[in-house]
Structure 1
Amino acid sequence: MALFSVLGVLALVVAALGVVSLTQGPRISSTSVNAAQAIQTSGSRLTLTLNQRVDSLDAKQVSVTPAVPFTVDAAGRSIGIRFTTALNDDTTYSVKVSGVVGAGGGPASDLATTFRTPASRILLLQRAPGGKDDKIFSTDLTGERARPVFEHPRIDDYRVSGNSLVVAVEEKGGSRLMVMDLDGSHQRELKLPGVGYVSSVQLSDRGGYVGYSYSDRDLTETSGRASVLVTQSLNGKGKPRIVEVGGKEASVAEWQFVPDTSSLLFVDFDGALGLQDARSDGAVKSMGVAASILGVSRGTYTAIVERADGTIMQVDLTDGSETPLPASTPDYGDADAIVPFPGGTVRHVTQRDEGGMPTGQAVVRVDDKGAAKIVAEVSGADAIVQTCVSPSGQYAAVVIAPDLPSNPYDELLLPLPGTLHTQLIDLDGKRELPTLNGFDISWCAQAPHP
């Protein structure tokens, strides 16, 4: 009798829970999101695990505040919300899903959750005069909690992707390429194509690739490789791969990884603009002729290039179609460099007087509707040498060389003025940020162009 009584009670409990589930609609059991990753790269995902199955969901049922683009999928007891751009740091995001109905029918319910992204930590390079070690520092945006993560007498370049730090150092025999964790631990060396020099180090967002320009140390007019484009896996497996055009190793004037992919876009010494995936030895896709790559947009696969005739064009890398880059309002003139970000671009322009003579430099924020605003400017002997934007477009970092005539260049492979300051800017104007000593903040996809 006792056993039957217990079974009867359990049956009543199960039935009661079933009735509650049917009368209340789906509820959130748990949530998961990698908030630290979400401020570094696009494609992060918030997963809502429910107490019952759902069949389908429309993106119109989901809202995210502050607004950010996303896609939605639902399968079984899970709802997935994928953010197609990086998120702002130190920000609380509210997510609401309305009218959710279980797979078996029943009443609809509205779901809500929040999560907060962490404050940013950045890396910054400081070169030291007088034979002292150059240092890469890790710090927060205040600059007050800096600590060195890597030191070497001659650091040429470095890049960050995910949890990997890649550093190119210069020694008497040539360059070395080091890979390590972000705190400088677990260092290992990548094998180069030969004994030579490395520059223009970049990392892919997908696939785990490093790319760089390589030149042999022993280079003559008739022998050796000059400025060939090399890609290889960060895990050290496999040999370095040299990009070929028409079956020949190509000397490359400039190049960039396409954001959110493992593809690379480059201009060779003949001015040909080409596109190739680092994952394969497939043929290079011709994208016409170009004088320079000004920037590549994240998420849209659109490159901003200067054509051989000086026109600035937006090139769709999926089909090769192109349109002129619209002028901003106000129009501050042609850009020397352009950094796309979600919702617009940051443009480095040279300011000129009515006679066309340069009077200074400015960094201009242009939104996707063309509205422009100067966010930083210099005049006189100061010069802007690098402009970078955080992954979400929340912040900009403008590197300034003060008093250039009295600021001698160093003697590394990538020579730069000895004194460089990084001015941090909140592009939304919500907070004042400091100016830090150093340059090449970890938001930068590539090194400065002196």
Structure 2
Amino acid sequence: MSTDSRGAARRARGRGRYTRGVAIAIGALVVIGGAAAGTGLTQGPRATSIQQDPQAAAVQSGSRVIFTANEALTDIDPSQVTVEPATDFTLDAAGRTVGVRFPTALDADTDYTVTIDGVQGIGGGPTSTLTTSFTTPKASVLMLERDATGDDRIVSHTVGGSDGDAVFTAAQIDDFRATSAYLIATTVDGDGTMHVTVVNRGNGSTHEIALPGSGIVTGLQVSERGQLYGFTFTDANLSAAGGRENVLFTGSLASSDDPAPVVVGGSEPSIDRWRFVPETSSLLLNSFNGDLTLVDRQDPDGEVSSFGTALGIEGVARSTYTALIDRLEEGFVELDLASGEQRVLTDAHLDGDALLGHILPLPNGDTLRSYAMLEDGIPTTSRIVTMNQDGDVHDIAETEDGDVLQQVCASPSAQYIALTVSDSSGAAYDGGVQSLPEIMETRIYDAATGDEVETWDGFDISWCEVGPW
């Protein structure tokens, strides 16, 4: 056989192998494609991404778990959603996205599972289940420790974990508040001059907020929404001739710009008590003359909502547009800031004579209360309870003989209750601008069991909206 003939034969055999190879490859692709199509037709929609932030969920109301599916979905009904442990939620879904929103903060150090059953593509076909699990971190707080012989400290603590790390120190710290991103503190120099300092909790950088003049800062508060701060300011040279008295100033924690006074009806009113309204840009104000008004910080010249008069503001629930107000005639009421409707709160029925000391709204609609127990009309110990809207009372704790209860407040989800107490036989007031007994401690209780889980030196725990004054 000639060389040309052998070459032609090899080329023919090569073309045959190539043709058979292509046919095999195409056949394999057909099989794989058919299998994939079959899988797609039998398994139903699946999640391509799941967004969740356990850290934020444990400290803020309104956090979400967001599922994104690989195809557009039919309508999802809330009955298809299960959250374990059982937790209130709302549902929003559109196209390929399903969001499960928690109106209140979730409990700390807890395993959660969110499941959506019966999920179906908009084109029909089989259903599937979308699910995710996550664990919230342990509860953490900041607290103020004053030192009569050294620097004052703001320290961090974790329930059931590490504690005692100083995050800010100064010769004299009067008050502080904190958001997830910033810490703001009021300090006092040796000559009595006050300063307001903001600390970026992410990188430790600081900047000072310029005060309107020489004077006293009180009523420090912060808002997680928008990262805002506010305080009331009184001129050092206030006299009968004039000067600012408890004028409210607000500003951005992220900026060193001068704070702006809150203007109502063209003037700067003297404010006795006030609160940021959670998840809004509004401020609830109670002036010295008793006026109770709601103003929008972002639109200070806009319409002001008036709610009559009040003796004080006890708090605004984190997850609702509801404030707890002290009225002259009705006593304590829950005021819906959206509608103006109010509900008069009843007193707790306790064994023995008792005098109400503290009352705060909780995210679930209950109230947290302290009562001084009386013997022959004289206060002895304090009893701390929660009370629901049906009047059912749940005991949390009772102070010991010799304790003086200074403040009570709850963690973001009301999983824990904090009691700040001083010793009635301890050292005298510490001499600060807003003085308190020199020796203070804060006790943390599990709200469900009443067990005391931590005891720390200090006060002004960051769970509280305001300090204990």
TM over 0.5: same fold? yes
Task: Say which SS state the counterpart of residue 417 (structure 2) adopts.
Answer: strand
| Counterpart residue identity of residue 23, structure 1 | T
2:408 alignment partner in structure 1: 387
Deviation at 1:206, TM superposition (A): 1.4
| Cα contact 2:207–2:256 (8 A) shared by 1 | no
1:447 alignment partner in structure 2: 467
2:392 alignment partner in structure 1: 371
* Structure-2 change in CA distance of 1:448 and 1:34 (3 Å): same
Please give the per-residue CA displacement for 1:27-72, whole angstroms capped at 9, x wherever unaligned. 2334221101111101111122333331321111101011111112
Task: Say which SS state the counterpart of residue 197 (structure 2) adopts.
Answer: strand
Worse overlay, 378-387 or 390-399 = 378-387
For residues 254-293 of structure 1, the aligned pairs below 5 Å read 254-281=273-300, 282-293=302-313
1:436 alignment partner in structure 2: 456
Please give the per-residue CA displacement for 1:359-393, whole angstroms capped at 9, x wherever unaligned. 33221122343311332223543211011100001
When the two chains are superposed, the root-mean-square deviation of aligned CA atoms in Å is: 2.2
**What TM-score comes out, normalization by structure 2 length?**
0.89
* Structure-2 change in CA distance of 1:173 and 1:441 (3 Å): closer
| Cα contact 2:237–2:243 (8 A) shared by 1 | yes
Deviation at 1:398, TM superposition (A): 0.2
Task: Say which SS state the counterpart of residue 434 (structure 1) adopts.
Answer: strand
| Counterpart residue identity of residue 361, structure 2 | P
Aligned mate of 1:168, from 177, 186, 190: 186
| Counterpart residue identity of residue 120, structure 1 | A
Q: Which runs of 5+ in 2 are unaligned?
A: 1-18
Worse overlay, 53-62 or 236-245 = 236-245
* Structure-2 change in CA distance of 1:383 and 1:173 (3 Å): closer
Please give the per-residue CA displacement for 1:139-184, whole angstroms capped at 9, x wherever unaligned. 2124753211100011111111122111111123522111113377
* Structure-2 change in CA distance of 1:50 and 1:239 (3 Å): same
For residues 416-431 of structure 1, the aligned pairs below 5 Å read 416-429=436-449
Deviation at 1:409, TM superposition (A): 0.4
Mapped partners of 2:395, 2:307: distance in 1: 32
Q: Does 1:341 align with 2:362?
A: yes
Percent of residue pairs identical: 37
2:54 alignment partner in structure 1: 35
In the comparison of the two structures, how many residue pairs are matched?
A: 446
Mapped partners of 1:112, 1:37: distance in 2: 20
| Counterpart residue identity of residue 383, structure 2 | A
* Structure-2 change in CA distance of 1:292 and 1:333 (3 Å): farther
| Cα contact 1:295–1:337 (8 A) shared by 2 | no
Mapped partners of 2:452, 2:239: distance in 1: 52
* Structure-2 change in CA distance of 1:19 and 1:330 (3 Å): farther
Mapped partners of 1:258, 1:277: distance in 2: 10
Q: Does 1:20 align with 2:39?
A: yes
Task: Say which SS state the counterpart of residue 272 (structure 2) adopts.
Answer: strand
Q: Which runs of 5+ in 1 are unaligned?
A: none
2:329 alignment partner in structure 1: 309
**What TM-score comes out, normalization by structure 1 length?**
0.93
Aligned mate of 2:259, from 240, 261, 267: 240
1:110 alignment partner in structure 2: 129
* Structure-2 change in CA distance of 1:78 and 1:430 (3 Å): farther
Aligned mate of 1:350, from 359, 372, 375: 372
Task: Say which SS state the counterpart of residue 422 (structure 1) adopts.
Answer: strand
Worse overlay, 321-330 or 41-50 = 321-330
Mapped partners of 1:6, 1:197: distance in 2: 83
Structure of larger gyration radius: 2
Deviation at 1:5, TM superposition (A): 5.9
| Cα contact 1:213–1:229 (8 A) shared by 2 | yes
Deviation at 1:334, TM superposition (A): 5.6
